[in-house]
Amino acid sequence: MAKDTRIIPDRAEFIDALQVLQKGHVLVRVHDRPGGCLLDGASVYWSFSTLLAYGLIQEFSNREGFAQVQYYRLSEQGRQFAERACQAWRQRPLLERLVLRVVG
């Protein structure tokens, strides 16, 4: 199977993650494999590396958290980006958003 080289492998998951992070939820990274991140109880399979690479999330120290687990929240740049990206997503036609959920 060929490696996916798209910057955002799953656009719907990426937008979902931004929307949840905008609400103040924390992304929890428990391991490096796809699905190794959790956000509001759901697995994040493909968006973590893009969020991190573009500075949209930043790690923070969670004294109440578990050892060997990393915690992330939106950066200031991420908050600004999330507002624009989520607004653009809502402006797409419903059918287009549904197709993107299926094909990534």
With respect to residue 38, please indicate whether it lies within any of the assigned structural domains. yes
Amino acid (1-letter code) at residue 38: L
CATH code at position 94: 1.10.10
With respect to residue 6, please indicate whether it lies within any of the assigned structural domains. no
- Assigned token pair, 77: 């740049």
Confidence check: pLDDT of 30 > 60: yes
With respect to residue 49, please indicate whether it lies within any of the assigned structural domains. yes
Indicate the Cα dihedral angle 25, 45, 60, 78, nearest 10°.
-70
CA distance 43 to 32: 12
What's the rounded mean pLDDT across residues 51-74? 91
With respect to residue 69, please indicate whether it lies within any of the assigned structural domains. yes
Which residues are registered as beta bridge partners of 60? 71
The domain in which residue 60 lies consists of: 11-103
- Region of 76 (left: φ > 0; alpha: ψ -120 to 50; beta: rest) is alpha
Q: How many domains does the chain have?
A: 1
Residue 40: pLDDT band by 50, 70, 90 thresholds?
A: very high
